[in-house]
Structures are given as structure tokens and as C-alpha cells.
Amino acid sequence: MENIVVTGGAGFIGSNLTLTLQRRYPSARITVIDDFRSASFKNLEGFRGDVIAANLVDVDLGYYIDASEVDAFFHLASITDTTDHDQYRQTHDNVESWRSILNHFAGEKAALVYASSAATYGIGGGINHVDAPLRPANVYAFTKVQLENLAARYAADFPSQKVIGVRYFNVYGPRETHKGQPASMIYHLAQQIRAGKSPRIFKYGEQKRDFVYVDDIVEGTILAATKQIEGAFDAKKFPRRVFNLGSGEARPFNDIITILNATLKTDVKTEYFDCPFPFYQPHTEADLKETTAAIGYKPSFTLESGIADYFKSGWLVPA
Ligand SMILES: NC(=O)c1ccc[n+]([C@@H]2O[C@H](COP(=O)([O-])OP(=O)(O)OC[C@H]3O[C@@H](n4cnc5c(N)ncnc54)[C@H](O)[C@@H]3O)[C@@H](O)[C@H]2O)c1
């Protein structure tokens, strides 16, 4: 990969991806596009490439990016606050950004990878198979379904083109601080413990999520591009071109408190409170069979080793 673009590259996952790509491809030309609506320049400390501060909805991509020159285009930019219920803003900004990217790259060699979400599965519990019916429960998830639909149409119109969607599960790790409330549960519980408070979770902490460390997500996202570039992705065998990226394991909320107590050397007791939501997802778990078969993704971090690495990075709790 010599010419790479990352949208949302100043955000949480995008900045981790950008910095990993820079380490792995030191001579590559890397460009970040971000309008900084939920980002921080601090995430890009050490980045040597170009940053275009622009809203993808109306930026003239042709002015900045020669589509024929790009090897890999990672589209992670999105409104990520799931509590933003402005249906027009979410749908307009998320979907129109993607439409203009797809139009810009139509007929080009670039391998496109875009971020979808496990939120597309909705609130039903259990193991999330990639071919399960999608039941978005909020407008954010609805926009991700639209991204997938648009990509499917694009793949049908341009069969030789490279495009893969990755449904991220619950991602945690360095460089999520700027997100505030939408940051991971692991981040928030660690802040409560550090502030000397009891960590608060819904009664009685047995709800399970597929928590996945950002390094694994970055790895899977890069694989989705490299496998396409190497011609090692079989689009005929996997015509959906959408894959789960998670840890493949569901862990109860209570486990986070146990691991944080061990990591932070504390012994705090959990405060349980009533879940205010009439429907709350009891269990998410990425089924990774297709992902492994199609792009060779295998997560390397457990919840224990992910939280340990996050702590070591200095981003989980300030020194
Ligand atoms: N963090 C998770 O657990 C998770 C789970 C599922 C899916 N995702 C997806 O992964 C991607 C990255 O999420 P994140 O957690 O890093 O969130 P984030 O909010 O930190 O990153 C999103 C980035 O996109 C930028 N952005 C938003 N709209 C834009 C626009 N119209 N033009 C230009 N830039 C724009 C923001 O400024 C921000 O830098 C998103 O697509 C998100 O939906 C994340």
C-alpha cells in the first residue's frame, strides 16, 4: 500500500488505524480526512501525513484525492453518538458521505473498506451471525444498514471493484477519551474507579457484550484491504462482502469490574442500578467463522490482555 486514505482518522479507531498504517508502511502517502466533530488532534500525535479538515458530505474529493492513485481507502468517518436521534442529520451525513466516496471511486482500483456496526443486528440477544436479519433499533444503526445497502449496489454495478464492510462490535482502547459519553464502558468504569466512586452498572451485571480491543479491530480492518489488494478475497464465495469484527467472545459486565480492580489495584464494590431501557440487548457475540474464512482475521486479545494493554498505554487512566 503506497497511497492510503483514512476518513475519521482523527477519531478513536481511525487514529489507531492511521498510526498503525504509518508504522507498517513507513513510506506510504497517508491522508486523513476528518471534520473533527467528534475527534481530537491529540490522537494524531506523531502522524507525518496530510490532514484534510473537511466534511465528507460536501467536500470536493476530486480536489484533494486522485482516485486512480489510491490503493486503500478506509471509511470510518461517521456520527458515532447513538443517542443523537436527529434522523435527518444522521442519515444525511452518514449516508451521503459514503455515496460521494463510492461515486468518486467507481471504476478505480482502490480497495475500499468501510465501518459498519453490530448495532445493525438490533436488540435481539445471542450469537450474531453475519447473515442474520438486520433490525436497527436507532437511526445510527439504520444509517449503517444504508451504507451496506449502498455498497451492495455499488458492488453489483461494478463487479470487479473492491469493497468490504466490517461490523465492529464494542471497541475499547487508547484514543477514545474525546468521545465523552459514547466512549466504551471500560473507559467509563475505569474513570469512576479512579475518581474513588463505585463503578455503576445495570442490575446485576450479567449482561454480556463482545468487547474487542482496538488493536484487533485495526488488524481486521487492514486485512480487509490487503486481502482485496492481493487478490486473496473471493467475492464470489462471500458476495455479501460484510464481516463481523469482534473478539468472538461475550463477557459479562461484572468481569470488567473484576479485571479493572485487578489492573488498578483497587477493591471497589459495584453499585447496581435499574436499567432504564424497556428493551436492552442482553448479549452480543460476533460469529467470526466467515470473517476468518474470508480475510483470515483472528483476534489476539482477551478482555484481560486488552485491558492490561490499554492500561499500559497510559490512555485508560492519566498518570
Ligand atoms: N467504537 C465502537 O465501538 C464502534 C462500534 C461499531 C462501529 N463503529 C464505527 O467505527 C467508526 C469509527 O468510530 P469511532 O469509535 O472511532 O468514533 P469517533 O467518533 O471517534 O470517530 C468518528 C470520526 O468521524 C469524524 N466524522 C464524522 N462525520 C464526519 C463527516 N461527515 N466528515 C468528516 N469527518 C466526520 C469525526 O470527527 C470522528 O473523527 C465509525 O464509523 C463508527 O460508526 C465504532
Per-domain boundaries in the chain: 3-169+213-247+290-295, 172-209+248-284+301-313
227 catalytic? Reply is no
- 253-311 confidence digits (pLDDT tens): 999 999 999 999 999 999 999 999 877 888 999 999 999 999 999 999 999 999 999 99
Nearest protein Cα to ligand 1, atom 18: 11
36 C-beta closer than 6 A to ligand 1? yes
193-199, long-range: CB within 8 Å, 24+ apart, which pairs?
193/260, 193/261, 193/264, 193/266, 193/268, 194/264, 194/317, 197/268, 198/268, 198/269, 198/270, 198/271, 199/257, 199/260, 199/268, 199/270, 199/271
Out of 6, 12, 142, give the residue to mutate to test ligand 1, the one with the largest number of ligand atoms within 8 Å of its CB.
12
Instruction: Encode burial over 210-231: b for 16+ CB neighbours within 10 A, e otherwise.
Output: bbbbbbbbbbbbbbbbbbbeee
* Catalytic pick among 121, 140, 154, 297: 140
> Looking at the predicted structure, is the pLDDT value of residue 319 above 80?
no
Q: How confident is the model at residue 129 (pLDDT cuts 50, 70, 90)?
A: very high
Residue 123 clears pLDDT 90, i.e. is over it: no
**What is the rounded distance in angstroms from the CA atom of residue 245 to the CA atom of residue 113?**
13
25 lines ligand 1 (CB under 6 A): no
Task: Report the alpha-carbon distance of residue 271 to residue 198 in Å, rounded.
Answer: 6
**In CATH, what number does 3-169+213-247+290-295 get?**
3.40.50.720
Please report which confidence band the pLDDT of residue 7 belongs to, taking 50, 70 and 90 as the band edges: very high
What pTM does this model have?
0.98
pLDDT higher than 80, residue 86:
yes
- Assess whether 144 carries a catalytic annotation: no
Per-residue confidence (pLDDT) for residue 160, from 0 to 100: 87
Band of the pLDDT at 24, cuts 50, 70, 90?
Answer: very high
Atom in ligand 1 nearest the alpha carbon of residue 14: 16
Residue owning the nearest CA to atom 44 of ligand 1 = 168
Residue 190 Cβ < 6 Å to ligand 1: no
The whole-angstrom distance between residue 4's C-alpha and the CA centroid of its chain comes to 18
Per-residue pLDDT tens digits for 205-257: 999 999 999 999 999 999 999 999 999 999 999 999 999 999 999 999 999 99
Q: Which CATH number fits domain 172-209+248-284+301-313: 3.90.550.10, 3.90.25.10, 3.40.50.1100, 3.40.50.12240?
A: 3.90.25.10
| Ligand 1 pocket member 120 (CB < 6 A) | no
For the segment 152-176, the average pLDDT, to the nearest whole number, is 96
Give whole-number Cα distances, 290 to 79, 128, 243, 287, in Å: 27, 12, 7, 8
Specify whether the CB–CB gap between 243 and 165 falls below 8 A: yes
Please indicate whether the domains covering 3-169+213-247+290-295 and 172-209+248-284+301-313 agree at the CATH topology level: no
Length of the chain: 319
* Distance from C-alpha of 273 to C-alpha of 13, rounded to nearest angstrom: 30
